[in-house]
Chain A
């Protein structure tokens, strides 16, 4: 396949940035999207030009490092996957592909397609944990049976990879899906209930301070989430938040 790429280039946070056109030929349909960018970068390096910076690491859809807004969609046109799992067979010869970073006020661009998502970490610092010491002297793991349905729901929420697609997709740049996934995981488990009140208040407070927008229930986040994190989690977090505020 031969493709035209329109890629966002921005030297650093202070630079204004712009879309730059690149032609790439002989793209195999079996390549992943990032391997296609590897090929482009190899060509740029050989020509003495600056390669395109993009985040990536595990390349199997679990680390959450890769991002990219491809043709107006977080992680590209396919569903239930990250960019590293997107394959070129989803495109056809002659296509023009727009490649931009995840955009949000809370995710400043570092370079080209690389953004700073440390706001997510700071929200987790505010309460994304259970305050148990790592001594190993806890109760036996089977001492508290947990209803399988709740355990499965907690697991589903916990599969969030923290990539930020929800924020990039949301017209308000809201981080509600991300935050609610962690709040839900712990709210569904008996171990997490002890600190539930403080957790939801602190995490939501930090989320607001980081400059993420509000949720208006459009549900775009759920559609673009590579792990299929459900909107139910946002509803659950809202209930938890209300409960906590009333206790306040």
Chain B
């Protein structure tokens, strides 16, 4: 099948408006006869479910958590971007578009990104109207801060809990529709297959996680807002339950999986502390507004710190290497995530790491505390030379801005980040790759949509901070509700989709076969045992730095591990009960397949771009080396085994932006 991105004609600034003016609409009476399934209730799925129900469609929404409010969007900390230009610092729709395309290392689809930037301002208006309590200034207007990779302050925030507040906003919009009966909510349900009838997505098979019952649900369209697949690495900042199963099942039913190797490794996470570790915790990028990143200049100092003989606070300024400020004077500590992560790895690999494992760098707030403290002393007419007072005042300012993050850090690491610098290291955080979608956010399977992190379209090879929340809500509130109507306009005479058909029978049998296999397997090792092994292969060979040999090895190792997993995994209990191990077993089975495709994609992409760093392709200064012949989306078609996947290319054409070297110096 040829890939048609269906980008509307015309100048980029007019595309979306023209598109909306010419799509087919469904009249309100007909909407009542149309059913839509939305899987996932994060920012994308939740906002889509609420909006579609409000328009009049019958929505069935699914989440594996015990409430839609717990989807992992809730954990996003720092903020949401919008081109409001409230600060008057030169922001505009075009500039947000430009920053996002450049930030993605020229590997995203231009028209989608422009639309995202265009609707970004509406998101803020909408959320404020819903009662989302964004941070405000004393004058009562909204406050902003800066995020990496940009030179303006366009990030709106609610302390370090922006994702929570936005998700609760979407959840409240859902609640209104659930109360009206327009959304039927299925909590503690996991989608295990998508059902295709005559080439169109017409339903799903879901498992009730409390009773184990397998259920058939039909609809005229299926929307996946099921997030990313960072947990393929076992350790990531994703929630424990975050998984690729819905997207992977869609892939196995024909949907192309695009750019699976584009993964974001976030620079500021709390380092791994031991083998027992179950997940990693992010420290928001917003901290880089005020925190300075450094390692010791001298190897012997780094060694002394690792041995506990030297404290970071004892090291003089001239003995510290503020390596981001040194290497990237224009953006300093606010370089994009991929750049900051690689720079941290480079220093640690060179022996300058500052914790026991040698895999940590400092994020230091001492300068900011002093700067804010002096400012406060001046405002309050106090003595700005009183060091103790200045420190106290400065700490109060920092506490107001980042209090919850500092508390989180203190609880996990048992050190006080007001007194000693934080230790941080990169960790898997977000996946830019995902299901291939066209301009309508529809996959190549008719009637099957993917929104938010689950699709691939907006962030290219690297996502800028505070843009995930923007994309999730843009897709769900403002894009999908238009584009899906255009498709469903052809379904007004279809009537209810029956579930007693051979397609549903076959999909259900598939699911049952998998479940029965795992339950009756009686193997030797737990699901986690294998998941950790997969994660180790991924991190060592498909992680922050990749090369041909490592990727080739990873592919065969994952293949072998998958075989062993199916033969030897042990899942206790039965299929017809609450069985967390069974749920995990099904998810990890899909990670085992995705992991291989991921490595295959990374192997084929013989260039470095954004989060994808191939050691063979770097500049003399160690920066990413993009290659023009790879300026395309790699969309993989499933052919039975991940290694047999066939690639389809979507060439990326940039008409409104000049493709340049991506420099933050």
Interface check B129, CB cutoff 8 A: yes
Q: Which residues of B contact A201 (CB under 8 A)?
A: none
Q: Per-position contact with B for A167-202: 1 when CB-CB < 8 Å, else 0?
A: 000000000000000000110010110000000000
* Closest A residue by C-beta to B185: A121
Which residues of the other chain, B, contact A217 by a CB distance below 8 angstroms? none
A63 to B67, CA, bound (A): 10
- Selected from A45, A121, A135, A192, the residue in CB contact (under 8 A) with B526 is A45
B241 at the interface (CB under 8 A from A): yes
Find the residue from A12, A80, A89, A158 having the highest chain B CB count within 10 A. Answer: A158
Residues of A within 8 A of B237 (CB): 60
- Residues of chain B with a CB closer than 8 A to A134's CB: 47, 50-51, 54, 126, 130, 173, 477
For B579, the closest partner residue in chain A by CB is A53
CB proximity of A17 to chain B, nearest CB, Å:
14
Q: Are A117 and B67 in contact (CB under 8 A)?
A: yes
**Are the C-beta atoms of A141 and B128 separated by less than 8 Å?**
yes
Stretch of A92-100, A146-154, A230-238, A240-248 lying at the B interface: A146-154
Known A-B contacts A110-B210, A125-B178, A134-B47; A162 and B578 likewise in contact (beta carbons under 8 Å)? no
Is residue B362 contacting chain A, with contact meaning CB distance below 8 A?
no
Task: Report A105-164 residues with CB < 8 Å from chain B CB.
Answer: 110-111, 114, 116-118, 120-121, 124-126, 128-142, 145-148, 151-152, 154-155, 158-159, 161-162
> Bound complex: CA of A53 vs CA of B66, how far in Å?
14
For B187, the closest partner residue in chain A by CB is A118
Binary CB contact string for chain B from 295 to 307 against chain A (1 if under 8 A, 0 otherwise): 0000000000000
B247: interface (CB < 8 Å): no
Assess the A136–B136 pair: CB atoms within 8 A. Answer: no
CB interface residues, B 163-205, toward A, < 8 Å: 163-165, 168, 171-173, 175-176, 178-179, 185, 187
B168 with A62: CB separation less than 8 A:
no
- Give the residues in chain A near B278, CB-CB below 8 Å: 32, 34-35, 38, 59
A146 touches B572 (CB 8 A): no
A111 to B451, CA, bound (A): 33
Q: Which of A28, A63, A89, A125 contacts B414 (CB 8 A)?
A: A89
Which of B74, B125, B187, B276 is A62 in contact with, Cβ under 8 Å?
A: B74
Q: Are B140's CB and A31's CB within 8 A?
A: no
Q: Does B124 contact A (CB under 8 A)?
A: yes
Cα–Cα, bound, A121→B529 (Å): 35
A155 touches B572 (CB 8 A): no
A138 contacts B129, C-beta separation under 8 Å: yes
A50 at the interface (CB under 8 A from B): yes
Residue of A nearest to B158 (CB): A155
* A63 and B65 within 8 A (CB): yes
Closest to B528 in A: A42
User: Which residues A210-235 have CB closer than 8 A to chain B?
Assistant: none
The answer to whether A130 and B159 touch across the interface, beta carbons within 8 angstroms, is no
A32→B67 CA distance, assembly (Å): 24
**With A12-B577, A48-B572, A159-B161 in contact, do A57 and B408 touch (Cβ < 8 Å)?**
no
Chain A neighbourhood of B133, CB < 8 A = 151-152, 154-155, 158, 185, 189
Is the C-beta of A55 less than 8 angstroms from some C-beta in chain B?
yes
Q: Smallest distance from the beta carbon of A40 to chain B beta carbons, Å? A: 11
Tell me if A136 and B119 are in contact (CB < 8 A).
Answer: yes
The interface centre, meaning the residue of A45, A62, A148, A161 with most chain B CB atoms within 10 A of its CB, is A62
CA distance A31 to B142 in the complex (A): 40
Q: Is A61 an interface residue (CB 8 A)?
A: yes
Q: A87-B411, A138-B129, A142-B86 are in contact. Are A125 and B65 (CB under 8 A)?
A: no
Q: What distance in Å separates the Cβ of B556 from its nearest Cβ neighbour in chain A? A: 28
* Contact indicator per residue, chain B 199-242, by CB within 8 Å of chain A (1) or not (0): 00000000000100000000000000000000000000101110
Chain B residues 37-51 with CB under 8 Å of chain A are 47, 50-51
Docked Cα-Cα span, A64 to B68, in Å, equals 11
Do residues B125 and A124 form an inter-chain contact, with CB atoms below 8 A? no
Q: Does B277 contact A (CB under 8 A)?
A: yes
C-beta contact mask, B232-256 vs A, less than 8 Å → 1, else 0? 0000010111000000000000000
Residues of B557-608 whose CB lies within 8 A of A: 570, 572-573, 577-578, 580-581
User: Contact size class for A?
Assistant: 35 or more
CA–CA, A80 and B528, complex, Å: 30
Any A CB within 8 A of the CB of B268: no
Q: Output the least CB separation between B170 and chain A (Å).
A: 9
With A56-B240, A114-B578, A146-B136 as contacts: A62 and B161 at CB distance below 8 Å: yes
Task: Give the complex CA separation of A48 and B127 in angstroms.
Answer: 50
Is the beta-carbon distance between A39 and B276 smaller than 8 angstroms? Answer: yes
State how many residues of chain B have any CB contact under 8 Å with chain A: 83
CA distance A189 to B131 in the complex (A): 7
Say yes or no: B414 contacts A87, CB within 8 Å: yes
Does B152 count as interface, using CB distance less than 8 angstroms?
Answer: no
- Select one of A48, A139, A152, A191 contacting B130, CB under 8 A: A191
Contact B477 A136 (CB under 8 A): yes
Q: Which A residues touch B141, using CB under 8 A? A: 142, 145
Q: How far is the CA of A159 from the CA of B602 in the complex (A)?
A: 40
Bound-complex Cα distance A146 to B47 (A): 25
User: Known contacts A130-B131, A185-B133, A191-B131: does B407 contact A141 (CB below 8 Å)?
Assistant: no
> How far is it, in angstroms, between the C-alpha of A228 and the C-alpha of B438 when the chains are bound?
45
Interface string of B48-65 (1 = CB under 8 A from A): 001100100000000001
Report if A136-B168 is in contact (Cβ < 8 Å); known contacts: A57-B239, A191-B130: no
- Judged by a CB distance under 8 angstroms, whether A23 is at the interface is no
Residues B122 and A136 in contact, CB atoms below 8 Å apart? yes
Tell me if A159 and B240 are in contact (CB < 8 A).
no
B281 CB–A CB distance under 8 Å: yes
**With contacts A42-B528, A158-B168 known, is A148 near B138, CB below 8 A?**
yes
Distance in angstroms from B16 CB to nearest chain A CB is 12
Are B239 and A63 within 8 A (Cβ)? Answer: yes
CA distance A132 to B279 in the complex (A): 37
In angstroms, Cα B579 to Cα A50, docked, is: 9
Nearest-neighbor residue (CB-CB) of A56 within chain B? B240
Closest Cβ neighbor of A126 among chain B residues: B179
Does B109 touch A at the CB level, under 8 Å? no
Given A57-B72, A87-B414; A186-B274 close (CB under 8 Å) = no
Q: Could you say which residues of chain A place their CB within 8 Å of the CB of B239?
A: 57-59, 63
B292 within 8 A of A: no
The one of B168, B277, B281 in contact with A35, judged by C-beta atoms closer than 8 angstroms, is: B277
Q: Which of B51, B122, B140, B279 sits near A148, CB closer than 8 Å?
A: B140
Given the known interface contacts A59-B278, A81-B411, A124-B172, the answer about A136 and B72 at a Cβ–Cβ threshold of 8 Å is no
Give bound CA distance, A174 to B81, whole Å. Answer: 39
Assembly CA distance A64 to B75 (angstroms) = 10
A59 CA to B134 CA, complexed, in Å:
24
Residues of A within 8 A of B577 (CB): 11-12, 111
Residue among B50, B54, B276 facing the most chain A CB atoms (10 A cut-off): B276
Contacts A38-B278, A85-B411 supplied; 9 other A-B pairs, CB < 8 Å: A31-B274, A31-B276, A55-B66, A57-B241, A78-B411, A147-B140, A148-B137, A159-B164, A162-B67
Give 5 closest A-B pairs by Cβ, nearest first.
Answer: A145-B140, A136-B122, A129-B172, A155-B133, A138-B129
Q: List 12 contacting pairs A-B, 8 Å CB cutoff, sorted by A.
A: A30-B273, A32-B412, A45-B526, A45-B581, A57-B239, A110-B210, A121-B69, A131-B176, A136-B122, A146-B136, A151-B140, A189-B131
A residues engaging B (CB < 8 A)?
Answer: 11-12, 28, 30-32, 34-36, 38-39, 42, 44-46, 48-51, 53, 55-65, 78, 80-81, 85, 87, 89, 110-111, 114, 116-118, 120-121, 124-126, 128-142, 145-148, 151-152, 154-155, 158-159, 161-162, 185-186, 189, 191-192
